[in-house]
Each structure stands twice: as C-alpha cells, then as structure tokens.
C-alpha cells in the first residue's frame, strides 16, 4: 500500500528540491463540484500525484478541489492526462505561473477540509451554481473604461498592497469570510451597476460573485482564472495590463511580477519596496515587506528584538519558542505596530 503522506523532514525535502536539475512548472487550479467522499478522493489523488513527483498544497472538500502545485517538466503531460481522467476535471483550465523559478514547493500535502475556501457562509439556501459571469482579460480592460463599472478586490490587505487593478476597491479585512458581508454592505446602494470581482486564481472571486447574486445584486462578473490567468492573456495577446505591481502568491515565491510598478513601501524604512519576506526569527515568522537595505541591516528580521533573538544560543531560542503559536502572523498597518511581541501570536489571513 502506498504511503499517503510525507515522512521525510522538511529540511531534507527542501535540500532535495534545490538539488534538482530538471525545471518545474508551477500551476494552480480549482473546481467547485460535489465530492461525496473527500477522504477517499484525497487518498487516490495523493497516490497518483506522488508517483509523478508533484509537490504542492491541495485542499479537498465536499464542495470541490483547490490546488497550488509544481510538476517536473517531463511529467507535465502525464499529470494533465491523469487530472483530466477525473471526469469533473476534464479540460479544466490550469493557471501557469508567469514568474516562476520552479522552487515554489518541496513537498506534497493534500488535506481534507470542510470547504476549499473558508467563507463563513451558513445559509443553506446559498448555491454556488448561481454565480457571476466570466470575463477574460480583453473584456475586463474594456469594462474598466466605463466609469460606472465597479471592480472589487477579494484578496487580503497584504495582497492588495503590492499590486491591484486600477480603480480597484479594497475590502479591508484579513479574511475572506469577513470580506463577503463587508462587500455586500459597501455596495448595497449600487446593486444595479456592473460589478467585477477578482482574486489571485479565481476561487475566491467565483464564490464572491455567487454571494453577491444571492444578496440581490444584478450584474455581477468575475475574472476567469484570476490575476494569474489575466497576466498570461495580457502577455499572449499583447494587451495593456490594467493590473499594476506584483501578484502575491501563496508559495515560496510570495509574489510574481506583473508590471515594473512598485506601489508599496518597506514596512521598516518607508522606501518603495514590494518584496514580502517572513521574519528570519522562526519564533516570529512575521510576513512583511522589506527592502534590500533593511534586509541587510536587520538580517532579514522584522525588529531589533528578533535580530537579537536569532543570535542567541540554539538551546535558549528553543526554550523561548516553547508554547508559541505563530499562526498566520501578518503585518497590518491598522494595528500601528510592525510586529507583536514574542508569545503574542495571532492567526491572521486565509
């Protein structure tokens, strides 16, 4: 019987990845469709993808699948053949990363969850079958020329900060489940206008479009394949990019460049910067924006406290880290501080 989970240390797996000479392709995909037995579906998926040396993060739930993976170039066609052999996934659009070094993932993790994207929706009458209409890159660009069109960013604040569409409305929250009712409330007086929802790869904005229709909005659209697919269409078709800056991605890259514009600032010195990093102190691991000068000066740390901490003896660091839950520790300007103190870890974001 195949091993249905990884049993090698993360450190060793990462070292193996960087020793690979064959290029890898980073791919994301999702599909809302009923999966009656998610655990069985998950095990079959793991067994087949492990053979193909697929790395990445995949969530499976009764409502569908959500995946961000990398696959060796020589196995790409075999991967597609297997994926498309699953009837509901036949011909599924695959979002290929546009700014990719192939080092996005180093282990395969497939998890069963209640939902493939946490939404907080408890209304049993909500139905994903009634969703907004797709728009592609050319259609989105045309609609943006209409001053009456409303474009809504359904990503978290730290994603919006480094890149977004021109005229895009930010829904200021750390979580998608909070954003859904906030978007309804923010636009409650504009239910007859054209509203375009967008996100990274399409999964959040597709659900958001259905949620808006459920709440009485009339003309709701969502960007097919999200920013990732938009960037590919812009490049392939020679279109002007209405998205400026970087697209934040949830893998080791933490971002892919769409246009040269740098619209964010370093969270330490305030100079233009849009590179997200995790604090070099593993007891903190704060996600924040750091410029090259600050990275060198602070040794990749978010604060003097963390910089001092990484120079302590290993045993002392282990002792101080005991009981700390890092969660999704993310910089938020609204909290008026760069980072929480050691031992004060909050779980933020989706």
C-alpha distance from residue 168 to each of 121, 266, 295 (Å): 24, 22, 30
Q: Any idea what DSSP says for residue 124?
A: T
β-sheet bridge partners, residue 265:
272
Q: Are 30 and 82 within 8 A, CB to CB?
A: no
Give the whole-angstrom CA distance, residue 110 versus residue 39: 10
> Could you give the residue numbers annotated as active site?
199
Residue 29's nearest CA partner among 96, 87, 78 is 96
For β-strands 133-135 and 169-170, DSSP reports them as unpaired
Give the whole-angstrom CA distance, residue 107 versus residue 10: 8
C-alpha distance from residue 277 to each of 14, 68, 232, 319, 329 (Å): 17, 19, 25, 25, 12
The helix or strand, by DSSP H or E, that contains position 72, with its residue range, turns out to be strand 64-72
Phi, psi of 348 (to 5 degrees): -120, 155
- 96 burial level (CB within 10 Å; 0-12, 13-18, 19+): middle
Secondary structure of residue 56 in the 3-state scheme? strand
Q: Are 197 and 215 within 8 A, CB to CB?
A: no
């Amino acid at each position: 019987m195949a091993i249905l989970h990884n049993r090698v240390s993360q450190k060793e797996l990462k070292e193996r990845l960087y020793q690979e000479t064959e290029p890898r392709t980073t791919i994301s995909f999702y599909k809302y469709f009923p999966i009656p037995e998610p655990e069985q579906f998950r095990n079959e998926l793991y067994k087949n993808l492990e053979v193909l040396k697929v790395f990445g993060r995949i969530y499976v739930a009764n409502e569908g699948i959500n995946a961000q993976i990398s696959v060796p170039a020589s196995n790409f066609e075999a991967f597609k053949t297997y994926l498309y052999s699953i009837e509901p996934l036949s011909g599924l659009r695959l979002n290929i990363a546009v700014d990719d070094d192939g080092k996005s993932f180093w282990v395969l993790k497939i998890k069963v969850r209640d939902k493939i994207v946490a939404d907080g929706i408890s209304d049993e009458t909500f139905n994903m079958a009634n969703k907004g209409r797709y728009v592609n890159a050319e259609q989105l660009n045309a609609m943006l020329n209409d001053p009456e069109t409303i474009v809504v960013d359904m990503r978290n604040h730290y994603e919006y900060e480094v890149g977004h569409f021109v005229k895009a409305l930010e829904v200021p929250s750390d979580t998608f489940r909070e954003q859904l009712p906030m978007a309804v409330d923010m636009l409650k007086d504009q239910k007859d206008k054209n509203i375009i929802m967008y996100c990274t790869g399409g999964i959040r904005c597709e659900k958001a479009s259905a949620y808006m229709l459920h709440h009485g909005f009339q003309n709701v659209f969502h960007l097919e394949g999200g920013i990732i697919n938009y960037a590919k269409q812009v490049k392939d078709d020679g279109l002007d990019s209405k998205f400026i800056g970087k697209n934040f991605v949830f893998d080791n890259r933490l971002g892919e460049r769409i246009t040269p514009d740098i619209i964010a600032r370093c969270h330490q010195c305030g100079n233009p910067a849009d590179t997200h990093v995790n604090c070099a102190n593993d007891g903190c691991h704060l996600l924040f924006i750091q410029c090259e000068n600050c990275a060198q000066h602070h040794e990749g740390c978010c604060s003097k406290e963390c910089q001092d901490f990484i120079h302590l003896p290993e045993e002392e660091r282990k002792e101080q880290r005991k009981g700390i839950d890092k969660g999704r520790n993310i910089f938020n300007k609204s909290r008026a501080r760069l980072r929480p103190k050691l031992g004060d870890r909050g779980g933020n974001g989706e």
